[in-house]
Amino acid sequence: MFTISPTARLRPSPFFDATISEGLAAATVYNRMIMPAHFGDREAEYWRLINGVSMWDVAVERQVQLVGKDAGRLAQILCPRNLATAAVGQGKYAPLCNHRGMLINDPILLKLDEDRYWFSIADSDIWFWAKAIAAERGLDVDISEPDVSPLAVQGPKAEDVIASIFGDWVRSIKYFWFRETDIDGIPVALQRSGWSKQGGFEIYLKDASRGTDLWNIVKEAGKPFDIGPGSPMTPERTESGLVSCGGDTDDNTNPFEVRLGKYIDLDVPDNTIGIGALRRIAADGPKRHQLGLKLEGGSPAPLDFAWEPIYRNGEKVGDMTNCVWSFRLKQNIGYALISCDCAAGDTVELKRKTGIVRASLCELPFV
- Binding residues (CB under 6 A) for ligand THG: these are 61, 93, 106-108, 120-122, 150, 193-195, 202, 242-243
> What is the layout of strands, in order, in the sheet containing 116-120?
91-93, 108-113, 116-120, 63-67, 142-144
- Residue 286 beta carbon to ligand THG: minimum distance, rounded to whole angstroms: 18
For residues 34 and 7, give the distance between their C-alpha atoms in angstroms, rounded to a whole number. Answer: 11
- Residue 58 beta carbon to ligand THG: minimum distance, rounded to whole angstroms: 6
Nearer to ligand THG, 109 or 357 (CB): 109
For residues 120 and 298, give the distance between their C-alpha atoms in angstroms, rounded to a whole number. Answer: 38
Nearer to ligand THG, 38 or 352 (CB): 38
Q: Are 95 and 49 in contact (CB under 8 A)?
A: no
Nearer to ligand THG, 199 or 300 (CB): 199
- Residue 119 beta carbon to ligand THG: minimum distance, rounded to whole angstroms: 8
For residues 337 and 319, give the distance between their C-alpha atoms in angstroms, rounded to a whole number. Answer: 5
Task: Quote the DSSP letter at residue 134.
Answer: H
Nearer to ligand THG, 193 or 198 (CB): 193
Beta strand pairing status for 116-120 and 54-57? unpaired
- Residue 167 beta carbon to ligand THG: minimum distance, rounded to whole angstroms: 22
- Residue 357 beta carbon to ligand THG: minimum distance, rounded to whole angstroms: 28
Rounded to whole angstroms, the maximal C-alpha distance in the chain is 63
For residues 59 and 208, give the distance between their C-alpha atoms in angstroms, rounded to a whole number. Answer: 10
Nearer to ligand THG, 121 or 357 (CB): 121
- Residue 26 beta carbon to ligand THG: minimum distance, rounded to whole angstroms: 20
For residues 275 and 285, give the distance between their C-alpha atoms in angstroms, rounded to a whole number. Answer: 15
Residue 172: partners with Cβ closer than 8 Å, 6 or more residues away: none
Nearer to ligand THG, 229 or 348 (CB): 229
